[in-house]
Amino acid sequence: MVKDIDVGVLGVQGAVSEHLESMRKALKEKNICGNVSVVNNEKNLNAVDALILPGGESTTISRLIQESNLRDVLCARIKNHNLPIMGTCAGCVILASEISDKRSDIFPLNAISMQVARNAFGRQKQSFEKQIEIKGFENSFNAVFIRAPIIKKIWSGCNSLSEIEEGIIMVQEKEFLAMSFHPELTNDTRVHCYFIDMILDYM
Ligand code: GLN
């Protein structure tokens, strides 16, 4: 029997409601009982089985993680491997172990063995959509990129799940999933469904 799952969406800044909606839709489509809620303090972070780090502004999200005292719990749960996390766009930056522009105001969580470059697509192309191929997905996925990062390097247990001409845009390392695009901005729930399967594997 599958236990109900509690998925949190970090709600300090960024595209929070879209992820709540996509995750609820994905659970429904997969016929899985679950609860999806906003996480913004230690108590509700400790209560969830998995977490989504939304897009937004990685400098701001990083600062708010520190200010709301979530960093210690997050790092502990990452280290103990009991919190599957999906990070999209700015969330992808936060999950990295290295950020190539070496900003002193972002404190990445060091969950995924990857180096990420922020705002990698230049100003004139701040926002675009592209059909991408994702490993294990039968059909292409319409990916929305908004001032998106690129994954410049991966190592040890990190696997690439999708690449475009400019570089790697989606990776998985054990229970951590990251992508430079915004799957919550389309009606296609396949990325959220993929994350649900990862969560179930880890429960
Ligand atoms: N460029 C932003 C950053 O690095 C991310 C943009 C987004 O999440 N849509 O913080």
Going by DSSP bridges, is the β-strand pair 141-146/127-132 parallel, antiparallel, or unpaired?
Answer: antiparallel
Counting atoms of ligand 1 from 1, which one is nearest the CA of 182?
9
pLDDT tens-digit map of 162-198 = 999 999 999 999 999 999 999 999 999 999 999 999 9
Give me 86's structure tokens.
């999906």
Catalytic residue among 92, 158, 182, 193: 182
Taking only the tens place, the pLDDT of each residue in 63-105 is 999 999 999 999 999 999 999 999 999 999 999 999 998 778 8
Q: Which domain holds residue 114?
A: 5-201
Residue 184 among the catalytic residues: yes
Of 114, 109, 41, 113, the residue nearest 75 (C-alpha): 109
Average pLDDT (118-136) is: 88
Cα distance between residue 88 and residue 91, in whole Å: 5
Q: What is the CATH number of the domain that holds 63?
A: 3.40.50.880
Query: Going by CA atoms, what residue is nearest to atom 8 of ligand 1?
Result: 55
Band (pLDDT 50/70/90 cuts) for residue 125 is: low
Domain count, the chain: 1
Judged on CB neighbours under 10 Å (0-12, 13-18, 19+), 57 is: middle
Write down the pTM of the prediction. 0.96
